Structure 1
């Protein structure tokens, strides 16, 4: 090497960046993040992190577009995908609890170019979701008062989600636990109370039953059903955050499988049964549904209002507000950790590598807060429903790409594990659903990306136009540009060879005696016991 010309050495370095990263295993396992989150935190974040306006408000827009049967089937399909993706996350997060988890798994098992495009696409996804959650607070507050302009509400709740993140990981974890507990408890109230109202047990109207299912199951036919999928995907995005927080948990082998095991509960209670309650209580042609010509209210609020149960309508709106704020909080958290992981991969400026003594990655946190809150002001000159549609369509495509890459990384990991002569019994935790769930999630992600292309070219209720196409499909264009740019930089093979993957680099090793300390006294200890009873 000493006899080679200087420019030859430089060229060799520039063309082998990806391979150097691969073989050195530079995936940021050791960062300045602190392991302050427990099983309780991870479980409740998995339960409640994606319960925001996608369910409480977006389900109204989906009901109007797809009808009662359309929205119900949409949530079942999206739920099956989340269930599949969560099992892939569980197996990988236990063995490789890395910051910016799925980005680094993709870089390790697929290719550096795919990791680069996924990492930045997902960071955009987090920022857009923060903006979407904050901007819709003006709609929620509009149920009570119109005295303040939209910009004022956006500013107030931008400050709230900022404070929830700047006080440190422990405070953030407790806020998410409280928020998820409220959402989890309230959805049980919603299910039982709306069954009663549908049966005619409220003063506002007589029995409804499945009247709307029978009269207009699909309001706009098959195309209407397809149109609900972006909102369903947007609503159910967030369960993958349990993979991100694994890097800041004391014992991922204990906490992550519990979080994965609770997914079925969230899917069945929050989404499938919640969506059914909407379909049996609210007319899909109700003009007050979010996105329609009326008051743009949540379908759950409409159900209580039409049943003449004003107290429950107010309580429902309060829970929606809590949901929106806590969801915005988790996405700022996720965005800051995602860019930290990218920096440790050499895919973001090195300044984003750092965190303070409390584990707060300030550079990524500040950037995520500023951009996420700033984009929320799109609401000031556009309707909330329009902004919701733009942002949810973009984020659903980013989410589909992310879910697909998680499943692909899982498949590639298992293939590498076997190719290097290792047994499944050596895994600290393995999913009983592999390989069927991973392939199910991957295939459906690819199918729905094609479906969204069809809807971008021929949108429901609108004529085809370049503006509609780019506003709805720009996410895929961004992903392709990011990937091709990374391919130009990293070069090398399209796929990392299975035999070249260092399966022990940045791996978390466990011993049989490694257990997480569980508080035995006080409210904290009682919470642990309740969660253990529910999810074990």
Structure 2
């Protein structure tokens, strides 16, 4: 930690033990104390890093390629409604993350929150579930890179591609965290710019403005809005959840932010950009330009291309198809590079909580948790070779189902941790006005996110027992639902070890441990319109 980070500052409220910290001339949002919670990580990320990670962190294979499988299985209305519903859950989860990550911007944040506000057994299960999802996602993104490159050439063997891009992801992650942050800012900027191009281009193509002049409009909505009925809609949901997995990454990355009070709310405020532009409107563009019956869609019998690439190619705009494929490549590489960071920081927290071997509890002088990084690579790299003996879409389905269940469990516990935090805050005599940053959506958003995560876990159980276009079998069930079985085993194994109450009593929760204190807020002055725009884009406090 730097000297500046360790300065003591005047708070706008009393500390929990009733004393006021000494004063010092520092900026609003500087950290008062961290109670030794950094675990050797270095706070080198700024607001723009967290904001851009918040906007583009999960924009990868799930959206650009996975929407093709969703379109063929569920139809236009199913994929659109699936992203709308999933988007409301992500929005709710991020409201909880914002409030908790400002107060407790800790490595392996979700593990610490669950252990603190629910019970250690839940933190243990969540921590290992979050960790295991990281190498699975990394493997899925690597095989996605192979699929994207297959659009241009099939001369390079898949094992060679897997090896090359696994090494690239490793290189991105072994540098200092600010180098990783700059890469993500660049990739997210490309995604944000290009989605605007995609939206405008797809509207023009759908209206018949392309070289081939075929007006599509809502033809496919009229002809086949729901394919495979309600079950087809349910089958789309795991892919939508997988596409949005990583939306919680700002909660973990906050531990390496120089000013969480500024950076975390900025990331939370910008979530609407990703949800509306990328997922909801982006999914709508697919449904008005590409037929669900197109054989070249990812998961079909043709070239297995992204629906966005197919939209441009079918319209006769070949240059845009190639540019689109290049942007998808950057997006998938970006998402793949996030997974090792999230997994290594998660197991770092587990190690420091004595929930993982000591080898994972340390960082080097540059703040790199080598033990966690190596374990993610050791598991994720071999998994990527599944693409050699199976089709890309088949591997994608397996891995995305596993990841979506881990994701739902993580999201649900984030919301539950927020509910329990507020209960403890109230039980110990504190008012909402004392919070350094508070969401205006509590308790509605937290309960909305928690309930829907529970419902969607049940939905995936139904699909594992009665799969779409396949007979029920033990093999199919375990292939699609083994994540939940693992979570249950982890939780009850931890319960046997920790024992105690199922929930820590609200009055007994230690609100001081791991908490960050900040300088007093100052009212922002200046142009009202500018502050409004800054607030919507995540750059200010509106």
Q: How does 1:13-92 map to 2 (within 5 A)?
A: 29-92=37-100
Deviations for 1:485-512, whole angstroms, at most 9, x for unmatched residues? 0011111111111111111111000112
2:208 paired with 1:200: yes
**Which TM-score applies when normalising by structure 1?**
0.91
2:485 paired with 1:477: yes
2:234 paired with 1:226: yes
Partners of 1:120 and 1:494 lie apart in 2 by 19
Q: CA deviation at 1:533?
A: 8.0
Does structure 2 retain, via aligned residues, the 8 Å contact 1:131–1:376?
A: yes
Q: CA deviation at 1:532?
A: 7.5
Q: CA deviation at 1:205?
A: 4.0
Alignment equivalent of 2:248, drawn from 217, 240, 244 = 240
Deviations for 1:109-162, whole angstroms, at most 9, x for unmatched residues? 000000000000010111110010011211110100011111111111111111
Q: Counterpart of 1:162?
A: 170
2:335 paired with 1:327: yes
Does structure 1 retain, via aligned residues, the 8 Å contact 2:270–2:536?
A: no
Q: CA deviation at 1:358?
A: 1.2
Deviations for 1:236-271, whole angstroms, at most 9, x for unmatched residues? 111110000111011111110010000011100000
Q: Counterpart of 1:534?
A: 537
Q: How does 1:130-529 map to 2 (within 5 A)?
A: 130-512=138-520
Q: Counterpart of 2:30?
A: none
SS of the residue aligned with 1:136? Answer: helix
Q: CA deviation at 1:170?
A: 1.3
Q: Counterpart of 1:20?
A: none
Partners of 2:320 and 2:41 lie apart in 1 by 41
The answer for unaligned runs of 5 or more in structure 2 is: 1-33, 524-532
Partners of 1:177 and 1:369 lie apart in 2 by 23
Partners of 1:316 and 1:481 lie apart in 2 by 43
Q: CA deviation at 1:30?
A: 3.2
Partners of 2:352 and 2:38 lie apart in 1 by 9
Does structure 2 retain, via aligned residues, the 8 Å contact 1:301–1:317?
A: yes
The answer for unaligned runs of 5 or more in structure 1 is: 1-25, 516-529
Partners of 1:441 and 1:513 lie apart in 2 by 30
Q: CA deviation at 1:204?
A: 2.5
Does structure 1 retain, via aligned residues, the 8 Å contact 2:269–2:537?
A: no
Q: Counterpart of 1:128?
A: 136
Q: Counterpart of 1:104?
A: 112
Deviations for 1:157-194, whole angstroms, at most 9, x for unmatched residues? 11111111111111101000000000111000000011
Partners of 2:215 and 2:321 lie apart in 1 by 19
CA 184–531 in structure 1, closer or farther in 2 if over 3 Å, else same: farther
Partners of 2:213 and 2:409 lie apart in 1 by 44
Q: CA deviation at 1:370?
A: 2.2
Partners of 1:239 and 1:513 lie apart in 2 by 28
Q: Counterpart of 1:7?
A: none
Does structure 1 retain, via aligned residues, the 8 Å contact 2:269–2:536?
A: no
Does structure 1 retain, via aligned residues, the 8 Å contact 2:35–2:515?
A: no
Deviations for 1:506-532, whole angstroms, at most 9, x for unmatched residues? 1000112799xxxxxxxxxxxxxx978
Q: Counterpart of 1:9?
A: none
CA 80–467 in structure 1, closer or farther in 2 if over 3 Å, else same: same
Does structure 1 retain, via aligned residues, the 8 Å contact 2:38–2:255?
A: no
**Which TM-score applies when normalising by structure 2?**
0.90
Q: How many residues align?
A: 497
Partners of 2:178 and 2:427 lie apart in 1 by 41
Q: CA RMSD in A?
A: 1.5
Does structure 2 retain, via aligned residues, the 8 Å contact 1:28–1:98?
A: no
Partners of 1:513 and 1:459 lie apart in 2 by 53
Partners of 2:520 and 2:186 lie apart in 1 by 32
CA 450–194 in structure 1, closer or farther in 2 if over 3 Å, else same: same
Q: Counterpart of 1:15?
A: none
SS of the residue aligned with 1:434? Answer: coil
Partners of 2:35 and 2:276 lie apart in 1 by 36
Which stretches of structure 1, 4 residues or longer, exceed 4 Å deviation after superposition?
530-533
Q: Counterpart of 1:524?
A: none
- Which of the pair is proportionally richer in helix? 1
Q: CA deviation at 1:373?
A: 1.5
Partners of 2:127 and 2:416 lie apart in 1 by 15
Does structure 2 retain, via aligned residues, the 8 Å contact 1:27–1:344?
A: no
Does structure 2 retain, via aligned residues, the 8 Å contact 1:27–1:345?
A: no
Q: CA deviation at 1:198?
A: 0.5
SS of the residue aligned with 2:350? Answer: helix
CA 111–28 in structure 1, closer or farther in 2 if over 3 Å, else same: farther
